[in-house]
Amino acid sequence: MAEKRNSANELVPDDEELVERSLAGDAEAFEVLVRRYGRAIYNVAGRFFRQPEMREDITQETFLKAYQALHTYRRGASFERWLMKIAVNACYDALRRMQRRREFSLADLAEDEQTWLEEALAKPAFELFEQQQQSENAVALAEKLLASLSPEDRLVMLLYERDGLSTAEIGELMGWSRSKVKIRLFRARRALDKRLRRILQGAQSASASKAKADEPESRQER
Q: What is the pLDDT along the chain (222 residues), one digit of tens a residue?
A: 445 545 444 577 899 999 999 999 999 999 999 999 999 999 999 888 888 999 999 999 999 999 999 999 999 999 999 999 999 999 999 888 876 544 444 455 555 555 555 555 445 444 544 554 445 666 667 777 777 788 888 889 889 988 888 999 999 988 889 999 999 999 988 888 887 777 777 655 655 555 555 565 555 555
| Local structure of 179: helix, strand or coil | helix
pLDDT digits (tens, 9 = 90+) for 35-85: 999 999 999 998 888 889 999 999 999 999 999 999 999 999 999 999 999
What is the pLDDT, as a whole number, of residue 12? 76
For 34-43, which contacts have Cβ atoms below 8 Å and span 24 or more sequence positions? Answer: 34/63, 37/80, 37/83, 38/63, 40/80, 40/84, 41/83, 41/84, 41/87
Closest of 148, 173, 145, 147 to residue 159, by C-alpha: 173
11-98 under CATH 1.10.1740.10, yes or no: yes
Which one is the CATH code of 102-213: 3.30.420.10, 3.40.50.1220, 1.10.10.10, 3.30.420.40? 1.10.10.10
Strand locations in the chain (E): 3-5, 11-13
Quick one: CA dihedral 73, 62, 49, 199, positive or negative? positive
| Local structure of 166: helix, strand or coil | coil
Beta partners for residue 4, in sequence order: 12
What is the pLDDT, as a whole number, of residue 80? 94
Report which DSSP code applies to 1.
-
What is the pLDDT, as a whole number, of residue 192? 83
Residue 78 exposed, middle or buried by CB count within 10 Å (0-12, 13-18, 19+): exposed
Give the residue extent of every domain in the chain.
11-98, 102-213
| Residues whose CB is less than 8 angstroms from the CB of residue 18 and which lie 6 or more positions away in sequence, other chains included | 29, 30, 32, 33
Q: Name the region of 9 (left: φ>0; alpha: ψ -120 to 50; beta: rest).
A: left
What is the pLDDT, as a whole number, of residue 144? 74
